[in-house]
């Protein structure tokens, strides 16, 4: 990290005058190492309680917004009104100092996978750094910026949102050179009111987009059309049958998807036409940054996917498990169900679906509508959670092999699955992260 105590003091309007170098910035005292700056945040527990622990672990400086009479000793102390805002200010300064090109990616679904694809493509030509895991909010994004190497040429940032205004802040901190919206779904509709409200929220990614920048959006999303029409920046659309950049899906197997763009064949190591759409975004970023088709193809063919996003693994008895359990909304669940149904697999296809959270007043209807994506391709359907009762009632009309388990009966569901699945079977697990399907996967993998 290329920051001194004096620089930080100037940013935060403090009086420290040391040229001492800061090696790292952390808000978790357990991650503090020698010569770090500690950022005490107020959450479930007040981070100010852990300043002494941070000092023991090697911190030489801390932010401080508590009573001045309790200022810690033997540390460089930067007194601020709000430690989180100060943390964000440091990130904004550091981004300007390192001066990478910034790529911003948001969307109701696919933003993490698209981030992974885009970084892999751009890494063919540039020194890149990307959002690690799901660090995509008002803490995670500045953390990502402050942890990028000094040599970073392109910074690929994932941006998440729960409420209106969230992306405005993130975009203003990062000032993207280029940005993309992958898809408008129903995630967080409880807070944003409607898909139209979600579309407006996603468009906040342009709040800090540079005037000569570009925005990539899906061509088949009518909610975005009126919103992008007044943008000063260039807008490029992508899709299958419409848009400036189009792809044709050629073949999908258990472990890959092949497609064509402008006569060039590409391959990605994930299933589903929805992931081909994500690859279209990565392709578009690649061309925007001057890469040729061969370089883009090399980046896409074996990119590394963030954990729990449509990943294959094995159960203890050899059955295949397709895990997509980090988040869920109706659009995302429908897409992965359709893709799983189309896969040419031997053995039975079994589906385990858990509640989709934060859908508001329409939650029962949205869960019930998942019946449109469940057909005879699936030998058995396991449903888990309070909201899945609505889908259970719907499926009982047409499906004989459908089973329901409440949240209190998770262990019963695990036991039933263990007894049921055969070595040649394939299982899809999909649900919101809060439903804990990762625990089910771990249990199935235990020998």
Tens-level pLDDT at each residue, the chain (447 residues): 889 999 999 999 998 889 999 999 999 999 999 999 999 998 888 999 999 999 999 999 999 999 888 888 899 999 999 999 999 999 999 999 999 999 999 998 889 999 999 999 999 999 999 999 889 999 999 999 999 999 999 999 999 998 999 999 999 999 999 999 999 887 667 777 788 889 999 999 999 999 999 999 999 999 999 999 999 999 999 999 999 999 999 999 999 999 999 999 999 999 999 999 999 999 999 999 999 999 999 999 999 988 767 789 999 999 999 998 988 889 889 999 999 999 999 899 999 999 999 888 889 999 999 999 999 999 999 999 999 999 999 999 887 799 999 999 999 999 999 999 999 999 999 999 999 999 999 999 998
Burial (CB count <10 Å: 0-12, 13-18, 19+), residue 268: buried
Every domain range in the chain assigned CATH 3.40.1390.10: 3-80
Question: Was 244 annotated as part of a binding site?
Answer: no
Strand ranges across the sheet with 380-384: 311-314, 320-324, 426-430, 349-354, 380-384, 402-405
Question: Was 107 annotated as part of a binding site?
Answer: yes
**pLDDT on residue 76:** 95
Every domain range in the chain assigned CATH 3.40.1190.10: 100-301
CATH number for region 3-80: 3.40.1390.10
Question: Was 386 annotated as part of a binding site?
Answer: no
Question: Was 112 annotated as part of a binding site?
Answer: yes
Every domain range in the chain assigned CATH 3.90.190.20: 311-445
Domain 311-445 has CATH 3.90.190.20: yes
Question: Was 318 annotated as part of a binding site?
Answer: no
pTM of the full predicted structure? 0.89
Q: Which fold has domain 100-301?
A: 3.40.1190
């Amino acid at each position: 990290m290329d920051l001194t105590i004096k620089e930080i003091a100037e940013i935060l309007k403090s009086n420290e005058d040391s040229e001492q170098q800061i090696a790292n910035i952390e808000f978790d005292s357990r991650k503090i190492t020698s010569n770090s700056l500690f950022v005490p945040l107020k959450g479930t527990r007040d981070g100010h309680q852990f300043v002494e622990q941070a000092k023991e672990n090697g911190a030489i400086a801390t932010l401080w917004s508590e009573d001045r009479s309790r200022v810690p000793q033997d540390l460089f102390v930067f007194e601020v009104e709000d430690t989180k805002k100060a943390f964000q200010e440091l990130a904004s300064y550091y981004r300007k100092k390192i001066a990478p090109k910034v790529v911003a990616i948001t969307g109701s679904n696919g933003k993490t996978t698209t981030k992974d694809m885009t970084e892999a493509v751009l890494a063919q030509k540039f020194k890149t750094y990307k959002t690690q895991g799901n660090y995509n909010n008002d803490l995670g994004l500045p953390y990502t910026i402050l942890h990028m190497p000094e040599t970073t040429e392109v910074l690929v940032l994932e941006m998440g949102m729960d409420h209106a205004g969230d992306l405005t802040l993130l975009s203003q901190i990062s000032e993207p050179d280029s940005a993309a919206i992958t898809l408008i779904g129903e995630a967080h509709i409880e807070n944003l009111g409607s898909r139209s409200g979600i579309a407006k929220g996603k468009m906040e990614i342009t709040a800090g987009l540079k005037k000569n920048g570009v925005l990539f959006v899906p061509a088949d999303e009518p909610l975005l059309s009126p919103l992008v029409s007044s943008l000063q920046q260039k807008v490029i659309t992508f899709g299958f049958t419409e848009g400036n950049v189009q792809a044709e899906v050629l073949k999908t197997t258990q472990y890959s998807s092949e497609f064509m763009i402008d006569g060039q064949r590409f391959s990605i190591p994930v299933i589903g036409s929805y992931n081909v759409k994500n690859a279209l975004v990565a392709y578009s970023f690649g061309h925007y940054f001057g890469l040729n088709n061969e370089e883009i193809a090399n980046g896409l063919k074996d990119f590394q996917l963030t954990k729990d996003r449509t990943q294959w693994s094995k159960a203890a008895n050899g059955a295949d498990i397709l895990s997509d359990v980090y988040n869920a909304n109706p659009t995302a669940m429908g897409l992965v169900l359709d893709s799983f149904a189309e896969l040419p697999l031997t053995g039975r296809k079994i589906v385990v679906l858990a509640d989709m959270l934060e859908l508001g007043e329409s939650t029962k209807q949205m869960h019930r509508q998942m019946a449109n994506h469940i057909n005879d391709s699936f030998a058995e359907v396991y449903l888990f959670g309070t909201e899945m009762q609505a889908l259970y009632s719907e499926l009982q009309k047409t499906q004989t092999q459908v089973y329901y388990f409440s949240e209190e009966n998770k262990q019963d569901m695990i036991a039933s699955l263990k007894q049921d699945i055969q070595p040649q079977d394939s299982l899809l697990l999909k649900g919101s992260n809060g439903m804990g399907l990762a625990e089910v996967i771990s249990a199935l993998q235990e020998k």
